[in-house]
Amino acid sequence: MLTVLFWDFLGVPINVIVEERLDTIIEDSDGPGRSLVLADTFFSRAAAEWLAPSSLPVAPLATFNLPPDLRLSRNDRLEVVFGRELRCGGFVREDEAGIELGVDVVGSAFFMLSRYEEAASLVRDKFGRFPAAASIASKGSFLDRPLVNEYLEVLWHCAERLWPRLTRRRRSSRLFLTHDVDLPCCRYRVPALAVLRHAMGDVVHRRDLLTARKRARSLLARENGPYDDPCYTFPMLMALSERHGLRSTFNFLSDSQGNNQDGFYGLDDSYIQRLIADIARRGHEIGYHASSTAATRPALIETEFSRLREVAVRVGALQDEWGGRYHYLRWSPLESWAAWDRVGLTYDSTLGYPEAAGFRTGCCYEYPVYDLLNRRPLRLRERSLAVMDVTLFSHVYQSFGFTQARDEVVKLAKQCWRFDGDLVLLWHNDTLIRPEHGRFLSDLIEELRMLQNSRQRYDH
């Protein structure tokens, strides 16, 4: 984890020496001098009870005052996920020997990034997902802040104070607009009963009478192929990204399971193959969308992903790297990352909560992941999801209006831009069945790009 914090995040080379001790000492390789001592409470506790519920932190968490010359936000206190109070009565102490930090920055970062709490907890929702309400981020009221990035700034502040000649890698913030292709069309190749079922869902679950009426009326229209279908909004989404210099990612299910959960399309459908070819031709990315079944049957990952790559190659959609997301955000902390790593996927972008926007991993940087079951680092990287359209608008979740939704996304974007981090958005093509949703997304992306560019101009 020290390598992730110092090299992957800060760009500072570090040589790690493992010893049996109750703290972490960071020293300058040029010779003896002042040192930075970090508390080690998580790993010392977890060593004897790995993945046991007793190794989890207990709310309410302690907090500590930030150094006077370090202000990360309007709040000048940070939550201590793991750590111990020092003899001085606080969490930070400096003397002629160096700086001692009672906050377990390394253990806390590992806990958040690896999703250790999800592996150690038995709490799950009806889809087998770890709920946001059970997380320490929700209980500690920091789900809307990237706490790991805040810890990183504390770590850098201390290191820079001890070794002023240190320099960190410059970063540029990134905006990722992603789309999970769950329902490419509302009516084309979709059974009439399924269309009506979606319409009933609009009424009962989403309380959206206008969309329900639009779906139902689509059954009466002559079926002229996918391009006249109200859910086939892919040209609009690609044009939106291109207008703002973005590269959209479209995550495809490998093959329909013939049910309401896994769509009503397959990769053999000629219109899907034309769509994949068009996406690639316009410079956007094809991603893998693991089926709802694959989340509990990791062996399916290889079959599904191989099928998607085979079709992509056939239509000329060639890519050096592949990423994607699990359907329904169904993700297992002990199996999912390892399954993707085995088949050669480059990154995963599943880790956001369906019921609450925010920072599930506590981080707005892409990072290499860790296999908790076999206790080893993987090549796979996590690109955490911050906001999903369904989260914002669904009556089951946050049920926001457009103004609230805009404010929520902008608030999270500003958190990401503070640290020159990444903001990952998920917008489904069928959300834009209503024109006002298309206008909202267009206005939102324009505002986000303006905020992002002004931040980067200010920094550089």
The enclosing domain of 371 has a CATH number of 3.20.20.370
User: In this structure, is residue 150 part of a structural domain?
Assistant: yes
Residue keyed to tokens 């084309």 = 188
Domain final position from 162, 192, 212: 162
> Are 149 and 250 in the same domain?
no
Query: Are 156 and 251 part of one and the same domain?
Result: no
Say if 204 falls within a structural domain: no
178 and 148 together in one domain: no
In this structure, is residue 448 part of a structural domain? Answer: yes
Q: Are residues 179 and 145 located together in one domain of the fold?
A: no
pTM of the predicted model, to two decimals?
Answer: 0.93
Tokens of 256: 């329909």
Q: Which of 378, 289, 379 is nearest to 329 (CA)?
A: 289
Q: 253: which strand partners?
A: 289
Question: What are the Cα distances from residue 94, in Å, to 24, 34, 37?
Answer: 16, 10, 10
Q: Confirm whether 219 is domain-assigned.
A: no
Residues 135 and 179 in one domain: no
Distance separating alpha carbons of residues 276 and 267, to the nearest angstrom? 9
User: What are 296's two structure tokens?
Assistant: 């509990």
At residue 342, what is the residue type? R
Q: For residues 180 and 263, what is the distance between their CA atoms, to the nearest angstrom? A: 11
Query: Are 100 and 144 members of one domain?
Result: yes
In a domain, 344, yes or no: yes
In a domain, 194, yes or no: no
State whether 94 and 19 are in the same domain: yes
Does 198 reside within a domain? Answer: no
343 and 398 part of one domain = yes
Asked whether residue 200 is domain-assigned, the answer is: no
- My answer on whether 156 and 178 are in the same domain is no
Q: Residues 360, 363, 369, CA angle at the centre, nearest 5°? A: 85
**Beta partners for 83?**
103
109 and 244 part of one domain? no
pLDDT at position 459 is: 46
154 shares its domain with 180 = no
Residues 176/445, Cβ–Cβ less than 8 Å: no
Which residue range(s) make up the domain with 401? 174-184+231-459
Do residues 166 and 160 make contact, with C-beta atoms less than 8 angstroms apart? yes
* Domain count for the chain: 2
Are 331 and 375 in the same domain? yes
Asked if residues 100 and 154 have their Cβ atoms less than 8 Å apart, the reply is no
Tens of pLDDT along the chain (460 residues) come to 999 999 999 999 999 888 878 889 999 877 678 999 999 999 988 988 999 999 999 999 999 988 777 666 556 789 999 999 998 888 999 999 999 999 999 999 999 999 999 999 999 999 999 999 999 999 999 999 999 999 999 999 999 999 999 999 999 999 999 999 999 998 887 777 777 777 776 666 656 776 777 776 666 665 667 888 889 999 999 999 999 999 999 999 997 554 456 678 999 999 999 999 999 999 999 999 999 889 888 889 999 999 999 999 999 999 999 999 999 999 999 999 999 999 999 999 999 999 999 999 999 999 999 999 999 999 999 999 999 999 999 888 999 999 999 999 999 999 999 999 999 999 999 999 888 999 999 999 999 999 999 876 544 3
